[in-house]
A and B are shown apart, each in its own frame.
Chain A
Amino acid sequence: DIQMTQSPSSLSASVGDRVTITCRASQRISNFLNWYQQKAGEGPKLLIYSASNLQNGVPARFSGSGSGTDFTLTISNVQSGDFATYYCQQSYSTPNTFGPGTKVDVK
């Protein structure tokens, strides 16, 4: 199985900050990497698919990049609704595996 890691596991940010989350796969997965946002008590929400494509309706302050084993999710100009937990997920092979999550909270 492909192992996914994320860093940091948590971070604190202020409204208006720029935040970067890193995801690493244990083997090369091309661009088969997706990002999800999960708020407390809710199901996850797709933000970015295929490493860099913004899902319809997701604000343009979210962006993704990377290929192979290393990927990043960037939130520019963090807003109050962005405080949540973020997960990466590889869809290169079954079982699809998720990173452990990065919790973004208020500084």
Chain B
Amino acid sequence: EAQLVESGGGLVQPGGSLRLSCAASGFTFSRYWMTWVRQAPGKGLEWVANINHDGGDQYYLESVKGRFTISRDNAKNSLVLQMNTLRAEDTAIYYCTRRVANGGDWFDPWGQGTLVTVSS
């Protein structure tokens, strides 16, 4: 069974940095695109970034471009989101999810999420 477990969240001051990790198991990690999605407290879901199979292509939400970097280590079955110059509006639960493509594409499964709070 495919599983994803996020870690690395916490409280950080505005302008600070945080590194989120996602450990994947139960599937061949290197065959899939991976994605980060976030959810501000009490709000809906917002796609943040995608990375392709080998890490050569990345795509970002406009508001995080230049501040966030998505990367992966296929040897370690690990996905990372490096977040710099954090803002209050980045406060959210960050979910790691696998992008499944077969005709269309969808996100499955999802991790339990890790909470990032940006506050002074």
* Interchain Cβ contacts within 8 Å, total number: 61
Q: Mark B35-69, 1 if CB is under 8 A from A, else 0.
A: 10000000011110010000000010110000000
Q: Which residues of A contact B46 (CB under 8 A)?
A: 98
* With A31-B104, A49-B104, A87-B44: A43-B110 Cβ-Cβ less than 8 Å: yes
B106–A43 CB distance below 8 A: no
Q: Which residues of A contact B103 (CB under 8 A)?
A: 50
Q: Is B108 an interface residue (CB 8 A)?
A: yes
* With A43-B112, A44-B110: A96-B104 Cβ-Cβ less than 8 Å: no
B: contact size bracket? 20 to 34
A43–B111 CB distance below 8 A: yes
Q: Is B27 an interface residue (CB 8 A)?
A: no
Q: Which residues of B contact A44 (CB under 8 A)?
A: 45, 95, 107, 110
* With A44-B95, A50-B103, A95-B61: A87-B108 Cβ-Cβ less than 8 Å: no
Q: Is A66 an interface residue (CB 8 A)?
A: no
Interfacial residues, chain A to chain B (CB-CB below 8 A):
31-32, 34, 36, 38, 42-46, 49-50, 55, 87, 89, 91, 94-101
